[in-house]
Amino acid sequence: EVQLVESGGGLVKPGGSLRLSCAASGFTLSTYSMNWVRQAPGKGLEWVSSISSRTTYIYYGDSVKGRFTISRDNAKNSLYLQMNSLRAEDTAVYYCARDSEAAAGTGGHFSHWGQGTLVTVSS
Amino acid sequence: SYVLTQPPSVSVAPGKTARITCGGNNIGSNSVHWYQQQPGQAPVLVIYYDSDRPSGIPERFSGSNSGNTATLTISRVEAGDEADYYCQVWDSSSDHWVFGGGTKLTVL
């Protein structure tokens, strides 16, 4: 069974940093692209970042580019999101999602999602 | 940037058919995916590549995509279908994933 478990969320002050992790199990992580999607309280889904299976291709949404860094460690079955210079508008539940394809940016779908981790940016 | 437009809400009586639209410029030339999100839950894929259905998703869920509109159709709607629904496409011109704003389906 495919499982994705996010961790690392919490309360952080504006300008601070946080690193999210996503532990994958039930499949071979190195075979798939992975994604981060967030959802602010009471709002819709917003794509954050995608990384291809071998880290060849990385993409970021406009609102996080230059502040967030996606990475992965296939040997540890883990996906990461380093978030720097956090702002109040980054407050959201962050989901990791497995792509259906190895190559990011090919239009594959997000076949499996974790339950999310809440990030709150507030002073 | 590419924009996907969904109606904020759709209401339907039990047993009837619900249609949720997703509008975008020439969206018919893109592959559209649809997700269902129950309150407090993570999204679940219900339709991919316009009209394919993942295993475990009832046949009542179907999709189509042509011209400037993609449509998620839910036949014989049940109370358990009440949820938020999101469409998604990959915008190759910007190398960005785009989600629609979401549609809240209410079962009357």
* pLDDT reported for residue B90: 95
Name the residue facing B45 among A111, A114, A115 (closest C-beta). Answer: A111
Task: State what percent of residues in chain B have pLDDT above 70.
Answer: 100
* pLDDT reported for residue A101: 86
Query: Is some CB atom of chain B closer than 8 A to the CB atom of A42?
Result: no
Dist. CA B58–CA B60, nearest whole Å: 5
Do A94 and A69 touch, CB atoms closer than 8 A?
A: no
Cβ <8 Å between B43 and A45: yes
Task: State what percent of residues in chain A have pLDDT above 90.
Answer: 93
Q: Which chain B positions have a beta carbon within 8 Å of A46's beta carbon?
A: 99
Cβ <8 Å between A45 and B86: yes
pLDDT at A58 over 90: yes
Give me the mean pLDDT over the A73-96 stretch. 98
Cβ <8 Å between A47 and B98: yes
* pLDDT reported for residue B12: 98
pLDDT at A104 over 90: no
pLDDT at A107 over 90: no
Integer angstrom CA distances of residue A102 from A25, A28, A33, A115, B84: 16, 11, 5, 22, 28
Q: Which of A64-68, A97-101, B33-37 has the lowest mean pLDDT?
A: A97-101
Give me the mean pLDDT over the A17-39 stretch. 97
Give me the mean pLDDT over the A10-18 stretch. 98
* pLDDT reported for residue A56: 93
Dist. CA B82–CA B12, nearest whole Å: 10
Dist. CA B89–CA A109, nearest whole Å: 9
The Cα of B76 is separated from the nearest Cα of chain A by a number of Å equal to 25
Do A4 and A98 touch, CB atoms closer than 8 A?
A: yes
